[in-house]
Structure 1
Amino acid sequence: MKKKALREQIIANLTALSPDVRHFQADELYQDLFASHAWNTSHTVAVTMSTETELDTQPIIEAAQQADKRVLVPRTFPGRQMEFVPLTDAVRLETSEYGIEEPVNGNATVKSAIDLIVVPGLGFTPAGDRLGFGGGYYDRYLADYSGQTVSLALDAQLFDTPQWSVKEHDIRVQQVITVH
């Protein structure tokens, strides 16, 4: 299946999830994330500001803040590039052209200072293959990132094997947390 059609199918499946099922699955994913080695050994966590379709990242942000972890959120710029900025009270967020809240001020954090990136996506395999949203921002960023990566996959996002073409430049996530 073509990536565009598969993305549309996954988005439709996510949109069709009942609020109860979504909430139940999300709670299980959060608990498993917060119990993971990657989470418990990290001091600086990078996480996207989620959209309505995606798994809500606000509980992850709040848990990180409560655990005194430094929280970073992405800011994109031309050339499909991205950087992570600390999410502080001084940071102002605005909605980007992609409908995602991004910081418009604040200084980027160097990659080597980021312990864990919670990588978003639409489709995942247990082996770490990831179908993103099509911009390539995370693949570019992760190409020379040496910290830990984890993704959280609702049932509607999980595939035994990739149903999309995996290219050489597609970067696998180290751990995919799934509903069990």
Structure 2
Amino acid sequence: MQKRKTLSPDEVFLLSDRIFKNFIDYFKPVAGQKVHIFMPIEKFNEVDTRIFIDYFLAQDIRVFVPKVANTLISVEIFENTEYETSSLGISEPVSNEDSGEAHFDYVIAPLLYCDSGGNRVGYGKGFYDGFFQSISSVSKKVGINYFDPDETIDDVWKNDIPLDYLVTPVKVLSFFNGLE
């Protein structure tokens, strides 16, 4: 979190764009696929996923975003979707209609950190661990982060589900086969 806070708005934009390009070049998403992607919390300098969302919608890729109630639900969004800011400072669709979708091609998850085994550290609420358990096991779980893994997470819980991939501004890590 401290490293992210030092990034300027220009750096956030530039690094987010590089992460986006690496994602597109590596995964090559196509029309009709389904992507679940988080909305960025700007005050935390999260990766700007609006770049991804705009691209996906323009390419006829179905887009779903999280909305937090007691659990994390998945709301499908469109060009004309209306948003409101949640109590957590997250832009969320006004709709509370859970899509019920469990078969995503990609789930792009927020994180503070990810180690070289795909273990992620989020904000400690456990929403994504529960969400990962509720989706198809073939959905690719992709973390996006400005920084490479350089430390191992020692306190992994038994219910934690690791990521399948991590996309950074300079590379894509696969936790199936190492660096790709």
Give TM-score, length-normalised by structure 1.
Answer: 0.82
| Pairing of 1:1-180 with structure 2 (within 5 A) | 10=1, 12-37=2-27, 39-40=29-30, 43-52=33-42, 53-78=45-70, 81-89=71-79, 91-105=81-95, 107-146=97-136, 147-155=139-147, 158-163=148-153, 165-180=155-170
* Partner Cα distance (1:152, 1:123) in 2: 9
SS at match of 2:144: strand
Amino acid at match of 1:54: E
* Partner Cα distance (1:42, 1:152) in 2: 22
Q: CA deviation at 1:98?
A: 1.0
Q: CA deviation at 1:114?
A: 2.3
Q: CA deviation at 1:72?
A: 0.9
Highest RCO, 1 vs 2 (Cα 8 Å, sep ≥ 6):
1
SS at match of 1:176: strand
Number of residues of Structure 1 aligned to a counterpart in Structure 2: 166
* Partner Cα distance (1:113, 1:62) in 2: 21
Percent identity for Structure 1 against Structure 2: 26
Amino acid at match of 1:72: F
Structure 2: gaps spanning 5 or more residues:
171-180
Structure 1: gaps spanning 5 or more residues:
1-9
Amino acid at match of 1:165: D
Q: Is the 1:46–1:84 contact (alpha carbons within 8 Å) kept by the matching residues of 2?
A: yes
Q: CA deviation at 1:42?
A: 6.6
Q: CA deviation at 1:89?
A: 4.7
Q: Is the 2:13–2:48 contact (alpha carbons within 8 Å) kept by the matching residues of 1?
A: no
Q: CA deviation at 1:174?
A: 0.6
Give TM-score, length-normalised by structure 2.
Answer: 0.82
Deviations 1:8-30 (A, max 9, x none): xx2x2111123444333222211
